[in-house]
Amino acid sequence: MKKIYILSLALCVPFLSSSQGKYFSRDGKIDFHSKAPVEDIEAHHNQVSSILNTDNGDIVFSMLIKGFEFEKALMQEHFNENYLESDKYPKAIFEGKIMNFPDVDLTKDGSYELEIHGDLTIHGVTKSYNMPATMERKGESLHGVSNFKVAVADHNIKIPSAVVDNIAEVVDVNVNITYQPYKK
C-alpha cells in the first residue's frame, strides 16, 4: 500500500506545486467488464490515485495493474502474466483535461456533466480518449463517475486464439472516485 501511495505522489508532484484548487484521491475505484460469448469477466480496483485541478481542469489517474481483483484467482494470474504483462508494464496512467471546464463551476455544490479528453497508457501503449463524466460537489468533496469503452487491440493486448471467445474485444470501464481537497 505504501508503494502505491509513493508511486502516485511521484507521478502527481507537478500537479501539486500549489494546493489551491487541487483535489486528491488514492482510493478511487475502477472496474471493467468483459462480456464475451463464453464467459463474462469482471475485475475491480480500489486503490486508484487521482488528482483533479479545479483551477484549470487538468486530471490525472494512476494505478498499478496488479491491483485489479478477479472472482477467480486463475483469471487474475492470466490477466497479469499473459495479457497485461504487469511485471513489464506495471501501471496504467490517464492524463487529461475537462474540455468544457470554462462552462462548469466546481466550487459550487451541484452536479455537472463533463467531457474529458486525454491520453490513456496501458500495456505501454498510449491512446487518446474522449469520455463523458458526471461530477457532483457536496461541501468540500467532489464525486465523479464515468463509463467508457477500451478496445484491447488499441493497447496491443494480445488474446490467444484458444480463449478468443472468452474475452471481449472491447471492455466496459467504470470509474467511481471521491476527491477531497489536497492539503500540504
Structure confidence at residue 164 (pLDDT): 84
Q: Please determine, looking at this structure, whether the domain spanning 2-8+23-181 carries the CATH number 3.40.50.1000.
A: no
Structure confidence at residue 10 (pLDDT): 47
Structure confidence at residue 162 (pLDDT): 83
Tens of pLDDT along the chain (184 residues)?
Answer: 444 444 444 444 444 444 578 999 999 999 999 998 888 999 999 999 999 999 999 999 999 999 999 999 999 999 999 999 999 999 999 999 999 999 999 989 999 999 999 999 999 999 999 999 999 999 999 999 999 999 999 999 998 888 888 899 999 999 999 999 998 7
Structure confidence at residue 183 (pLDDT): 85
Structure confidence at residue 19 (pLDDT): 55
Structure confidence at residue 104 (pLDDT): 94
Q: Is the pTM of this model over 0.85?
A: yes
In sequence order, what DSSP letters do the residues of the chain get, joined into one string? Answer: -HHHHHHHHHHHGGGGSS-TTEEEEEEEEEEEEEE-SS-EEEEEEEEEEEEEETTT-EEEEEEEGGG-EESSHHHHHHIIIIIS-TTTS-EEEEEEEETTGGG--TTSSEEEEEEEEEEEEETTEEEEEEEEEEEEEETTEEEEEEEEEEEGGGGT----GGGTTTS-SEEEEEEEEEEEE---
